[in-house]
Structure formats: structure tokens, C-alpha cells
Structure 1
């Protein structure tokens, strides 16, 4: 008789980075503490009870889906929590994600039909409902075999919100998805994003975080058949009083798959402010399992600390269980300006403040230029310009 599976405290790791305890039931998780590995960077007291059940009354989020005119094979449905299409990407691996699953009253399912091709993005907008309530939700994006799709998430407004997004990318299908966290600066958001890729499937996932008081995103990708290709991009810019965390996992569970991860962030604090410091944390886990021969993967995180009163933590992790791979590597940096770049611009007569802003915008351009959609790229460029407006560094 097989022994019953034991609940793991706060979803700490099992034998490797990919073997996490998971459950759809929040009661299966203990309340996280500050010393728990997966929560050690997070200011738990600022989560407004999302982690321990003490949140304000729960309600459904305000979600709208805009399907472009002329779209083919796109279906949008509001479904019950027990719909069989939910949960295909796996169960939550931490207590807040499980709380969102347990507390939600409905979910949104967006399906792209087999072999359909949609080059214009479906936009999913999630709006906060204010500070007097808490919202929990889920969105499932299903891309059937052979289909090509683009989805943009716009997260706006004020509130306390936790959700689960899942992406099921079928065989020979392609999905481009952008998550733009443009919350007001008094919003708390904890989001889990899980993707599963079929044979020869392609995922391009990008996260842009500029707004919110506390924003924690947990993207996870798992290959379920050979030939998959995943690219994960991210940009974030934190000011004083803001905390942003990105905690990623790429699980190479099948042979001959590729992944590339590139996140870039900037921080500017205000030592004279009564608010807390600007703070970011990035944790990137890549697992290459024993049967994942032919894997080709690389991950990098770069951070610019622009002022005093700012702190960035960067933790890349690479776990390899087979030596029969094409390549694997990781890198992370936290630093100030490149003095040589600054000197070059100054020597060309560019004022010091303008030169610093040019360096920051150039720093982000490597990532932004790879995000699909010209309008979205322009929007993100403008967001960075807004962050730099009036900055003193």
C-alpha cells in the first residue's frame, strides 16, 4: 500500500526545483512565514491577508475581454469553477494561488480553435475593485493544435487581487502573451501563471510591471512533449514604496526543447521619503530533468539601481540532471550605470541628466524590442520615460 502524500510546508521544494507540492485547496498549505524559502523576499505584512486568510470580503474581479474585429476561431466564456478545462496546467504551488482558486466564484476561458491564425491580440483587462474588498479570479487561455494566437493582459485600477492564469499550448501551436501590470500604486497583486507546451509548441511570454504597491508574479512553464520553445521576457521599474517580485520556473521535462529567459529591471528610491525603499526580487529556476536530452537554455536578469534607498535581489538557479544537452547557462547582475557609456555621451556634449536617461532607456530596449506589437512597445517606452521624468540620479 502506498503511503499517503504529505503536505509540504509552504510549498518548499522536493527532490528538485520542479517537484513542488501542489493543491487546489488552500487548507492543504500552511500559512507562509518570512523565513520560508519561496516567501523570504516578500513583505508578508503588506499582502493585506492574502497569505493567511485575513483579507477583506472577497468578490469576483472585473474582467473584460476584447476580441479584435475579424478574429477567427476565438471563443470567450465565463464558466463555473468546476469546468473541466480549468486546471489543465496544474494545481497551485503556493498558498495565495490556492486561496485564489478556492475563493473564486467563476473563471474566464478563452479558446483559439484548431489551426486558426490570429495576428491581432485579444485583450483581457482586469480592473481592481477598490481597497474595501478583495478579488480572486482565474483565466485559462487554450490554444488548440496548429493555432496561432496573441493575448495581452492589462491590469489596471486599485485593489487587492490574487489570480491564476493558465496557458495550454497545443501541438504545433504558438502563443504570444504579454502581462502588463499597470496598477495604481496602492494595489496589491499576487499572480500565478502556469503554461504547458505540447509537441513543437511555441510560447512567447512577457511581463511588464510598472504599477502597484506589492506585485508578485510566479510564471511557470513545463514542456510536456519534445520540440517545445519558450521565451520569457520581463521589464520592471520600481519606485520608493514599491515591491516587485518575479519568481520563475522553466521545467525541461522532455527532450529537445529550448528556453530563453531575459528580465531587466530598474529601481529608484527616495531616502528622504517616509515610504519604504524601492525593492525588487527576481528568482529564476531552470530544471533540466534526466530525460531532457538535447535541451538548450539560458536565463539572465539585469538590474540597474539608480539611487540610494533601492535594493534588488537576483537569484538565478540552474539544476541539471543530464549531461546530454546542447547548452545551459545563467547570469544575473545588480549595478549602477556603465561609466564608460556615460563618459561617451558626456564627451559628445549631451547633458548629464539626459545622458543617464538615454542609458536607462537603452538598457530596457533589448527586451522591449522583442515584445510583439508596435503599439505595446511604444506604450512601454512611454512608461519608462514617465518613470524617468523628474528623476534625480
Structure 2
């Protein structure tokens, strides 16, 4: 690994200059400033590293304005072994998984009044929470998902309708537990959504975290997985389909801070229509304490028309040489001509061949969720996106 330096003004990005000059080390991922208080963050200009690819002017209500932090309408469906309740800001579970690292997340944290607490206990448990009546007032939300030690389950968070929402989602996976969390952004076209997901994975525990984004004008969901106990395992999966004028963003972070931990990051997206935009940033940090780490991250984007833009930036930071393996990959391109030729040579029309290629490309993520009913609905949503694209 090579180290670099950058000339910064004293105090810029909250980094102090050395006494012998204005040169300071480039900030590593683990040193990013964090606080639960929005006042601790400076106003967002769009020049900051974490905001420079985001249309911040559209998000001023969520970054700077007051937010309604009251309990919001939702439809919850649970089985035995899962509890869902509203709790106050003083609940001991709040703050157990992470702390905001940007102004939007901190504004949500400062503004929420009640948090939604979801607890999974036992084996094979499932819960679905649907939000569809948030309206157009700027809101703050906070959710805490806890998987008890040795438990197994899946929690599905579905978002629909209009919204102007900044939120934090905390996920705590107890020792030996196996939890799947799926966040589906099927918002209306005018929705604005900023979300930070923080996960702490216990000893010999596993988290599968899936982000699916179809709807919304600007949707930014940033998940982070912290592997602080030996044997922890995290899979961060993502699927997005960006249409004309739509901005879908995800900044992913995996922090390996214990021996013999494993992570896999796999995000796939398609873009169609003038001004369709996607942003994916993947940060993986393997600390000196994380010997025996096994990590890999990748992002693939399929461009379906002119006028689109996909930013894909994988980053890998390794502080120890004693690892099992680590790597990353990123690719953005158009249809595979060989695949299209193969299908057309077997009597399939070009339009149908393109549909099959895109569906197969994105279905790989859907099929890993492990909830058949949701998988079927998501595949139907992909079909609807493709039909709309072909009809445009």
C-alpha cells in the first residue's frame, strides 16, 4: 500500500495540520468524523467527499431543516418470536450499532422522537414493516433491529408512496445469530430519501443485508457492517434500476476489526433514460487486528440507453498482511453482444432477448434474499421497469 498526502487548510474536514506545515495525512475511512448532533457538522456545500456525487440542492430540507420526528404510520406483519414497538430516545438499544458520519444522518438522529424497535428471537422468524403514508413533510425516523443470540430470521422494510425522509437504521446481530434485513425503496417519483444503516455483527454471527431501490427522485441508502467479533460474517447485496431523471446512490462500508471475519459485497444496477444516475462507493477496511480476513466487493452496472451516468468507486484499505484474501471489482457497460446473438440465433426477438439479459443480470441478487413471496414481487417489479423502459 502507498501513502499519499494532501494540502488542506488547517481544520479542513476536522483534520489538524502538523506543527511543521500545512501538510496532513489523507483521512482514512476509520478516521471519519462522527457525531449524533447535527450542529457538530458544517453545512453541506456539495464539495465534500461524501456529498460530491449527490444532488445536495434537492435535499436541503433533510440536511438543514427541522424534521418531524414523531411516530409515523406503518403496517407491520409479524409472527411469533418477533416484537415491534415504539420506544423513546432513552432506550438502551439506541446507539448500540453506530454513529452518524454525515449531516443528513445526524439531522435524523437529532430530530427523531420515538424509535421503532424490532426484536427477533427464536428460529425462522419473519417480520415485514411497510411505510406508505409518510406524505411530503420532512421527517426523521429511527429503527433498531435486534437479533437475539442464536436466533434466525428475516426483517423486510418496504417503502412506498411519497416521502421526504432522513433516517437511521441500527442492526445488532447477537452471537451465533443469522439475520437477513431487506430494505425496499419502491417510492413514488417525487420521494427524497436519505438513509444510513449501521450493523454490528457478533461472534460467529451472520448478517445478510439487501438494498433494493426502484422508485424515488433522490434515494441514498448507505449501509455499513462492523465485524468486531471473531467469526463474524456479512453479505451486503444491492439491486437498483435508475430511470430518467432519477438519482440512486449507495455508499457501502465494511469494517473488519476482528480475526477470521468474512465479507461479501455485491451490488448490481441498470440505468435507462435521459439523466438516469447511479452512484456506488464501496469502502472495505481490514484493520491490523483482523488477521485471517476474507473479503471481496464488486459493483456491476448495465447501461440500457444513452444519457445515463454510473459512478462506481471501490476502495480497499489493508493494515495487515495476514489475511485469507481480499479484492474488489467494478464494471459498467452495455449489453453483451454475444449473449444477444446467442438468444437471437435461437429465434428470440431482439427486444425479448434484451429483456431476458437484463432480468437475468438483476435476478441474481433477488434470488439470494430467501423470502419467496418478496422475491416474486421484486421480479415482477423488474419486469415492470423493463416494460416501461421499452415503451418509452
> What TM-score, normalized to structure 1?
0.91
How far is the alpha carbon of 1:83 from its aligned partner?
Answer: 1.5
Please give the residue correspondences for 1:21-60 in structure 2 after superposition, counting only pairs within 5 Å: 21-51=33-63, 53-54=64-65, 58-60=68-70
Q: Is the 8 A contact 1:8 1:29 kept in 2?
A: no
CA distance in 2, matches of 1:258, 1:345: 37
Check if 1:204 corresponds to 2:215: no
Check if 1:84 corresponds to 2:92: yes
CA distance in 1, matches of 2:139, 2:323: 43
The residue aligned with 2:237 is: 233
Residue by residue over 1:218-261, the C-alpha shift from the partner in whole angstroms, topping out at 9 and shown as x without a partner, is 10000111000111111000101110001000000111000001
How far is the alpha carbon of 1:8 from its aligned partner?
Answer: 4.1
The residue aligned with 2:74 is: 64
Q: CA RMSD in A?
A: 1.8
Check if 1:358 corresponds to 2:356: yes
1:117 aligned residue (118, 123, 131): 123
Residue by residue over 1:90-148, the C-alpha shift from the partner in whole angstroms, topping out at 9 and shown as x without a partner, is 211110000001111111111223xx1134x20122234222x1111100011121111
Q: Is the 8 A contact 1:61 1:128 kept in 2?
A: no
> Aligned with 2:100: secondary structure?
coil
Higher alpha-carbon deviation: 324-333 or 366-375 = 366-375
Where in structure 1 are there 5+ consecutive unaligned residues? 1-5, 271-276
2:260 aligned residue (241, 256, 263): 256
CA distance in 2, matches of 1:288, 1:222: 11
The residue aligned with 1:129 is: 134
How far is the alpha carbon of 1:332 from its aligned partner?
Answer: 0.5
How far is the alpha carbon of 1:183 from its aligned partner?
Answer: 0.6
Q: Is the 8 A contact 1:128 1:161 kept in 2?
A: no
CA distance in 2, matches of 1:374, 1:324: 39
Q: Is the 8 A contact 1:175 1:202 kept in 2?
A: yes
Higher alpha-carbon deviation: 365-374 or 379-388 = 365-374
The residue aligned with 2:5 is: none
> What TM-score, normalized to structure 2?
0.91
> Aligned with 2:30: secondary structure?
coil
Number of aligned positions between the proteins = 372
CA distance in 2, matches of 1:86, 1:261: 26
Q: Is the 8 A contact 1:9 1:30 kept in 2?
A: no
How far is the alpha carbon of 1:379 from its aligned partner?
Answer: 0.9
Residue by residue over 1:45-72, the C-alpha shift from the partner in whole angstroms, topping out at 9 and shown as x without a partner, is 1114212x136x6353524353434x12
Q: Is the 8 A contact 1:7 1:28 kept in 2?
A: no
CA distance in 1, matches of 2:257, 2:83: 30
How far is the alpha carbon of 1:159 from its aligned partner?
Answer: 1.7
Change (3 A) 1:390 1:93: closer
CA distance in 1, matches of 2:177, 2:133: 32
Q: Is the 8 A contact 1:61 1:127 kept in 2?
A: no
Where in structure 2 are there 5+ consecutive unaligned residues? 1-10, 16-24
CA distance in 2, matches of 1:345, 1:104: 52
Q: Is the 8 A contact 1:186 1:212 kept in 2?
A: yes
How far is the alpha carbon of 1:360 from its aligned partner?
Answer: 0.3
The residue aligned with 1:377 is: 375
CA distance in 2, matches of 1:214, 1:301: 20
CA distance in 2, matches of 1:180, 1:260: 20
2:181 aligned residue (177, 188, 191): 177
